[in-house]
Amino acid sequence: MALLARRNLFHDRVRFAVTLTGIVFALVLITIQFGLFLGFTTTTSNNIDHSHADLWIVFHGVGYFDTARMFSERKFYEVLSTPGVQQAEKYIQNFAYWKKPDGGVENVQVIGFHPGSGLGEPWNLVQGDVLDVKREDGVIIDDLYKRKLGVQQIGDRVEIGDHRARVVGFTHGIRSFTTSPFVYTSFKNSLNYTRPASREDQLAYILIKVAPGFTPAEVQKNLHARLTDVDIYTAEEFSRRTRFYWMFTTGAGLAVLTAALMGLVVGVAVVAQTIYAATMDHIREYGTLKAMGASNRYLYGVLIEQAVWSAVLGYAFAMILAHFIVQGSEKGGALILLPLSMKIGMLFLAIFMCIIAALVSINKVTRLDPAMVFKG
Amino acid sequence: MNSLPWTKNVIRARGLSKRYREGATELRALSNVDLDILAGQLTLLMGPSGSGKTTLLSILGCILRSTEGRLELLGEEITSLPEKELPRLRREAIGFVFQSFNLFPTLTATENIALALDVRGVRGRMAGHRAEELLLEVGLQDRKDAFPADLSGGQKQRVAIARALAGDPPILLADEPTAALDSTSGRTVIELLQRLAHHHGRAVVMVTHDPRVLPFGDRILHLEDGQLVGEETAQPAPAIAQGIPPAMVNTGLSQKFPAEF
């Protein structure tokens, strides 16, 4: 069975190449779409996921990271006196204009944090020191956006919201899901750059580290008892809400998933067509096998083995290609993730796709009349 | 099936009919055929095109079911057997030889035979060894690694016969096996089929249009318009001499047809 399956599959090399091309195309398309989806979801919540905070306090009704609404600093002091709170830090996120040295303007997302606190700081710092943002005009940006923001090195001067700023460090790989790059600076500097409308309400978030012996849920409950007009989320909850908002409320994720689904449909169609064509080319052989007494199960075995061979080989080529695309994407604005779990999942998806594609041929062979072998 | 006691009468058909429906029209391919096929004999089925030879061969080979009548194979009544049982019968009791060989072009001679063994659950070294034995039996041991495209017509048919013998079936059904062959190859093939009947006790049924094979048949059945219209028996034939029912007619065929192919 195995030998016949392999020989019939590999015999016509041109057709097999077409089959493989179809599978590879479909799998690469699906892999990249899923990788983009995964990259997008990770990107939307990366500031929360790397914040090292256990709890996030936001203005009531703010459901996700990128829409900050300011609230009073008084709440910060209430938080500090709440049982179970080991550390609380002010945090701000707001949009501002970035005037490039050559005069061009870009929109950026300014992140204000307390340098040295360990909460809400930028990560993957490849140049400079995070404490340098304590300087009156110090900012850190990601090196992916050097060209977009018109800077090249530490020391380059720009303007943010009509205030001077100087690049003091670079991170690597912190992408923004919106088109506005993140600019990290001290909380104090960020107030200059973002200019909150009210002098009273100058906080967007409070990041909390829970004291040893307390669970985030317990502290969350304590905070709820003291604070009004705010929502208190665990970091995981806030991250999930942010990802869900961007992926499903905006339709961005749906578009990516739809493209992945289209890849699956195209893949099934291409593989089904090629396996069916191969089956029809060998239909007399299947008739002969039936006349010889081969059971339908035996014939299915031949077809499914062909499908599995096609899937495994197509998968191997697809993963090599996807690997290069993912590598290429690391220098671009869109993050494509290809974790091991997804690679394994893609193998099963490839096999599933090819077996589904083989069903058309299985149906044909099941209905095949072995008496056809007597027709010259 | 092979474990059943060896019987002289390996196929017994009574009142076999086959009707096809084409739109409103009913076509009668076979009509009330009574037939006994005996082990150790080469039985030839002859008749003009459309006379029902292939339909009869298909029914005897459990590939097609009759519309009416009763069919016994090695003493087992098969007319009432469920459809899913028929492949088992074909695997265990019947070997097929086709006019156009129907070899698998991507497999070598040995692999073609091994595939027939694989269908029967025999695999690995045992299958390879048995395939080589069968190739030796048909005189093609030196062509074991050849692909069908590299074999002559006669060699292909001999490989096909070796493949048909893979399950050691008591019945061999051949559909015009010499039609596509030159006279030398045709003679080799018919002699091989005759030897399988006479020396190995197999029942060989062969549909043919080829008058050159007539001298090799022990028995000739004539079909016309789906009916069995005549039967001739050659004399002497080894199996006949071993106690064939007296109803058979000896027409002295060996004198009516040329001795040379």
Beta strand ranges found along chain A (DSSP E): 55-59, 71-72, 85-99, 105-113, 125-128, 138-142, 157-160, 163-171, 182-186, 201-203, 205-210, 230-234
pLDDT tens figures, A100-149: 888 889 999 999 999 999 999 999 999 999 999 998 899 999 999 999 99
pLDDT at residue B120 tops 80: yes
pLDDT-derived band at B58 (thresholds 50, 70, 90) equals very high
A233 contacts A7 by C-beta, under 8 angstroms: no
Predicted pLDDT of residue A1: 64
Structural domain boundaries in chain A: 2-43+251-374, 61-228
User: Which region, left, alpha or beta, applies to residue A65 given φ > 0 means left and ψ of -120 to 50 means alpha?
Assistant: alpha
For chain B, the maximum distance between any two Cα atoms, rounded to a whole number of angstroms, is 55
Decide if pLDDT at B241 tops 60.
Answer: no
Q: Positive or negative CA dihedral for A263, A267, A268, A273? A: positive
> How far is C-alpha B238 from the chain's CA centre?
18
Q: Which residues of A touch B116 (CB under 8 A)?
A: 292
A151 in Cβ contact with A158 (< 8 Å): yes
For residue A298, the chain B residues in CB contact (below 8 A) are 119
Query: Residue B85: which of A369, A28, A332, A295 has the closest Cα?
Result: A295
Is the Cα dihedral B171, B175, B176, B182 positive or negative?
A: negative
Mean residue pLDDT across chain B: 85
Inform me whether the pLDDT recorded for A291 exceeds 60: yes
Does the structure show a pLDDT above 50 at B114? yes
**Computed over its alpha carbons, how large is the radius of gyration of chain A?**
29
pLDDT single digits (tens) B170-190: 999 999 999 888 888 999 999
More reliable by pLDDT, A269 or B160? B160
| Signed CA dihedral, A347, A348, A352, A353: sign only | negative
Range scoring the smallest mean pLDDT among A108-122, A193-207, A334-348: A193-207
Binned at pLDDT 50, 70 and 90, residue B216 comes out as very high
| Alpha carbon distance B211, B183 (integer Å) | 11
Name every chain B residue with its beta carbon within 8 A of the beta carbon of A295.
Answer: 87
Is the CA virtual torsion B243, B248, B252, B254 positive or negative? negative
CA atoms within 13 A of residue A233's CA, in its CB half-sphere: 21
Domain coordinates in residue numbering, chain B: 39-65+81-256
Pairing of strands A230-234, A55-59: antiparallel
For residue B112, is pLDDT > 60?
yes
User: Which residue type, as a one-letter code, is found at position A72?
Assistant: S
Whether this prediction's pTM lies above 0.90 is answered by no
pLDDT tens readout for residues B18-36:
998 878 888 889 999 999 9
pLDDT-derived band at B261, boundaries 50, 70, 90: low
Q: Is the peptide bond before A122 cis (omega within 30 degrees of 0)?
A: no
What are φ and ψ of residue A167, in 5° steps? -75, 125
CA A84 from chain centre, in angstroms, equals 34
Q: Is A271 left (phi over 0), alpha (psi -120 to 50) or beta?
A: alpha
Q: How far apart are CA A159 and CA A161, in angstroms?
A: 6
**Closest in A284, A287, A293 to B119, CB measured:** A293
- Size of the A and B interface in Cβ pairs below 8 Å: 67
Cβ distance B87 to A290 under 8 Å?
yes
Nearest C-alpha of chain A: how many angstroms from B251?
A: 30
Task: Phi first, then psi: give them for residue A149, nearest 5 degrees.
Answer: -95, 0
CB contact under 8 A, A293 and B120: yes
- B106–A8 CB contact, under 8 Å: yes
Asked whether A301 and A1 are in contact (CB, 8 A), the reply is: yes
**Inter-chain contact A373–B96, Cβ cutoff 8 Å?**
yes
Cβ separation of B106 and A4 shorter than 8 Å? yes
On whether the CB atoms of residues B244 and B166 are closer than 8 A, the answer is: no
Handedness of CA B126, B131, B134, B136 (dihedral sign): negative
Q: pLDDT at residue B2 above 60?
A: no
Are the C-beta atoms of residues B23 and B93 closer than 8 Å to each other?
no
Q: How many other CB atoms sit within 10 Å of the CB of residue B3?
A: 5
Superfamily of domain B39-65+81-256: P-loop containing nucleotide triphosphate hydrolases (3.40.50.300)
Decide if B89 touches A, using CB distance below 8 A. Answer: yes
Averaged pLDDT for residues A188-212: 83
What are the CA-CA distances from residue A43 to residues A24, A46, A72, A241 (Å)? 27, 5, 29, 13
In chain A, residues with a C-beta closer than 8 Å to the C-beta of B120 are 293
pLDDT score recorded for residue A375: 67
Mean pLDDT of A297-325: 92
